Amino acid sequence: MYYDHACIFVDGHFRQGSFSVENGRFTHVLDSAPHEDGVDLNGAYVIPGLVDIHTHGNSGADFSDGDYAGLVKMAGYLARQGVTSFAPTSMTLPYKVLETAFRTAVRLHREQPAGCARLMGINMEGPFFSEKKKGAQNAAYLRLPDYDAFCRLYQAAEGLIRIVDIAPELKGAADFTRRAAKMCTVSVAHTDADYAQACAVFDAGATHLTHLYNAMPSIHHRKPGPIGAAAERDNVAAELICDGQHIHPSAVRMAFKLFPGRICLISDALRCCGMPDGTYLLGGQETFLREGVARLADGTIAGSAANLYQCLCNATDFGIPREEAILSATLHPAREIGREDEIGSIANGRLADFVVCTAALQRRAVYIGGQRIAEDA
User: Which H or E run includes 7?
Assistant: strand 2-10
Looking at residue 298, its pLDDT comes to 86
Spans in the chain with pLDDT lower than 50? 376-377
- Say how far residue 299 (Cα) sits from the centre of its chain: 25
64 vs 84: CA distance, rounded Å: 20
Looking at residue 37, its pLDDT comes to 79
Per DSSP, the three-state class of 55 is: strand
Whether a cis peptide bond, with omega within 30° of 0, leads into 127 is yes
Looking at residue 185, its pLDDT comes to 98
Are 330 and 347 contacting, i.e. CB atoms less than 8 angstroms apart?
A: no
254 vs 259: CA distance, rounded Å: 9
User: Which H or E run includes 195?
Assistant: helix 195-204
> In order of start, what are the domains of the chain with their CATH numbers?
2-45+360-375 (2.30.40.10), 49-344 (3.20.20.140)
CA angle 16, 19, 22 (to 5 degrees): 170
Half-sphere exposure of 252 (CA within 13 A, CB side): 27
The set of residues, in sequence order, having a beta carbon less than 8 Å from that of 257 and lying 6+ positions away, is none
The set of residues, in sequence order, having a beta carbon less than 8 Å from that of 232 and lying 6+ positions away, is none
Are 68 and 51 contacting, i.e. CB atoms less than 8 angstroms apart?
A: no
Looking at residue 173, its pLDDT comes to 98
Closest CA to 112 of 358, 368, 325, 309: 368
17: left (phi over 0), alpha (psi -120 to 50) or beta: left
Looking at residue 377, its pLDDT comes to 44
Looking at residue 285, its pLDDT comes to 81
201 vs 193: CA distance, rounded Å: 10
Looking at residue 168, its pLDDT comes to 98
Query: 268 — phi, psi (to 5°)?
Result: 50, 35
143 vs 140: CA distance, rounded Å: 9
At 211, which amino acid appears? H
Looking at residue 44, its pLDDT comes to 97
Catalytic residue among 37, 268, 298, 353: 268
Q: What is the DSSP letter of 261?
A: T
Burial class (CB in 10 A: 0-12, 13-18, 19+), 42: exposed
7 vs 81: CA distance, rounded Å: 20
The set of residues, in sequence order, having a beta carbon less than 8 Å from that of 231 and lying 6+ positions away, is 238, 258, 259
Closest CA to 188 of 207, 175, 203: 207
65 has catalytic annotation: no
What are the start-end ranges of the H helices in 259-330?
308-317, 322-329
The set of residues, in sequence order, having a beta carbon less than 8 Å from that of 23 and lying 6+ positions away, is none
